[in-house]
Chain A
Amino acid sequence: MEEKDKENNGSSGGTTRRQFLGQVGLAGAGLQLAPLLAKATGILPDNEALPIEPITVNIMINGSQKTLTIDTRVTLLDALREKLMMTGTKKGCDHGQCGACTVLVDGRRINSCLHLAAMCEGSEVTTIEGLAKGDDLHPMQAAFLKHDGFQCGYCTPGQICSAVGLVKEGRAKTDAEIRELMSGNICRCGAYQNILAAIKEVQNA
């Protein structure tokens, strides 16, 4: 009976007194079985009694220190958008395929949707909000405006952060190389020609 309750409810959520006693009973059985299992495989059973607790991380975001206490599952993207209300970084596919969530972590462009915020302890993160100096746009932002490097604008923060990373890496010399090294950013409106022009202008400045 207790086992059935446990299955139905999973490991999260509230626990009734009866379930709790049941779990203690199971844990007791586990204590006796554990050494045998461990002897056979070396692998200990997961200790379900250990709580899954929120985690506290310190992240430098756009030059300002932030301390967040978050669920372990929160990605850097969701921490930015949902916890810090910095909605400049966009959620597109949420699986690392579209590049809309691109930010710079310790100077490198990454997909913030596939990076746990819990892994960012001590990291320096730069988002689209951190590129301009007050009212002075970052050269890449200005170039995107000048060359009309967008239509709907949803992919643009990711495109710009990715382009800033690309210029810093210094590996793309030709148009084909720029296109190849921007392939992690999809633009559904098809502004690629103008994005290319914007990046070239910044590279040649």
Chain B
Amino acid sequence: MEPFRFVKAQDNLAAIRAAGINQAKFIAGGTNMLDLMKLNIETPKQVVDINKLSLYKIEELQNGGIRIGALVKNSDLSYNPYIIKNFPVLSEALLSGASPQLRNMATTGGNLMQRTRCPYFYNTDFACNKRVPGSGCAAITGYNRMNAILGTSDKCIATHPSDMCVAMAALGAIIHVQGPKGSRAIPFADFHLLPGQTPHIEHNLKQDELITHVEIPALPFAVKSYYLKVRDRASYEFALASAAVALDIQNGTINGARVALGGVGTKPWRSLEAERALIGAPANAQTYRTAANAALAEAKPHKDNAFKIELAKRTLVRALTTVEGMS
């Protein structure tokens, strides 16, 4: 690990100021940051500890939404009774990720900032445009069974690893950030960026902007929502494919739908195509299959991950069928 200065910030503004120098990084849970620092993939000169900031609250909003502090631990969020009742998909997504120890450390803001687990990003012996811009992508020609099929470019096919983010994408979360000149709100779909020609730029956040909280707007039909994760092991493994879904079914017709996919996209993958195929259609197997086909229509497989197209479709169909069964 490279040497760094350690700064403990006492409030938001102090944290933002300390982050306003080149190569400064915030640390909260540290579960991904320290992991990458040990491998010399992250080499901050200044590490700004934000754990003293007052960003630990989960507040129910009057309109039925919820406001989640950036430092709320994944474990606390997953077991929050209001979340379990009103946004079960978020609780399930969180509990399907990592281990209890990691969830006790990892934070809401940190989970948003989590970096890919692409083995070629992690192994500094290989080329990786995300790690070293312009060096090439070893995954495109290498062993790419775990890599993405949606949102890829000729520079990068790394998947976004988060489960929490898939649920938040489906729920249309809003990310609130604070910088030296004030605060702004970023719609979830605009927060993470597609790799394009610049896979090293992963999010729409400036160097000295601090995530303060995440807002989940009210979505009454999300009481019937569900997260299904398919992976190589029963537990403690990243997704091959996952689906976060919510359905509003009235008299056999789908009036509202939310769909996002994980494990297949270069960012948490909300599928408006699938939602359009669902809304107004009868709640049945044929509709779900049509929606799944729409969600994966643009999928581009590589040598070892063509199986993910059908796997993601079936994952989505099963998730939708499960939510229908809740009605």
Contact = CB atoms under 8 A, between A and B. Distances in A.
On whether the two chains bind one another, the answer is yes
A110 interface: yes
B104 A109 contact: yes
A111 interface: yes
Given A72-B3, A73-B1, A99-B101, A115 B49 contact: no
Interface residues on B, range: 35 or more
A73 B30 CA distance: 12
A184 interface: yes
B91 to A, nearest CB: 12
Contact of A11 (B3, B38, B104, B235): B3
B11 interface: no
Interface string B66-84: 0000000001000100000
Contact of B236 (A45, A111, A184): A184
B31 interface: yes
A184 B20 contact: no
A96 B1 contact: no
Contacts of B1: 73
B100 A109 contact: yes
Interface stretch (B21-29, B145-153, B219-227, B306-314): B21-29
Contacts of A179: 235
Given A116-B27, A116-B34, A42 B180 contact: yes
Contacts of B207: 41-43
B165 to A, nearest CB: 19
Contacts of A156: none
Contacts of A108: 75, 104
B21 A72 contact: no
Contact of A46 (B22, B34, B235): B22
B20 A42 contact: yes
Interface in A9-67: 11-12, 41-48, 50, 52-53, 55
Interface residues on A, range: 35 or more
A159 B150 CA distance: 39
B109 to A, nearest CB: 15
A118 B100 contact: no
A55 to B, nearest CB: 5
A171 B95 CA distance: 12
B51 interface: yes
A102 B31 CA distance: 13
Contact of B101 (A11, A47, A184): A184
Contact of A52 (B5, B49, B208): B5
Nearest to B33: A114
A46 B21 contact: yes
B99 A184 contact: yes
A180 interface: yes
Contacts of B3: 11-12, 52, 71-73
A96 B31 contact: yes
Contacts of B22: 43-46
Interface of A: 11-12, 41-48, 50, 52-53, 55, 71-73, 75, 94-96, 99, 102, 108-111, 113-116, 118-119, 121, 162, 165-166, 169, 171, 179-185
8 contacts: A41-B207, A43-B207, A52-B4, A95-B38, A113-B34, A119-B51, A162-B100, A183-B236
Interface of B: 1, 3-6, 8, 20-24, 27, 29-31, 34-35, 37-38, 45-47, 49, 51, 75, 79, 98-102, 104-105, 180, 206-208, 234-236
Given A99-B99, A114-B30, A114-B105, 8 more contacts: A95-B38, A108-B104, A114-B34, A114-B35, A118-B6, A165-B100, A165-B104, A181-B100
Pairs of residues from A and B, 8 with the lowest C-beta to C-beta distance, nearest first: A184-B99, A183-B235, A72-B6, A183-B236, A108-B104, A46-B45, A184-B101, A52-B3
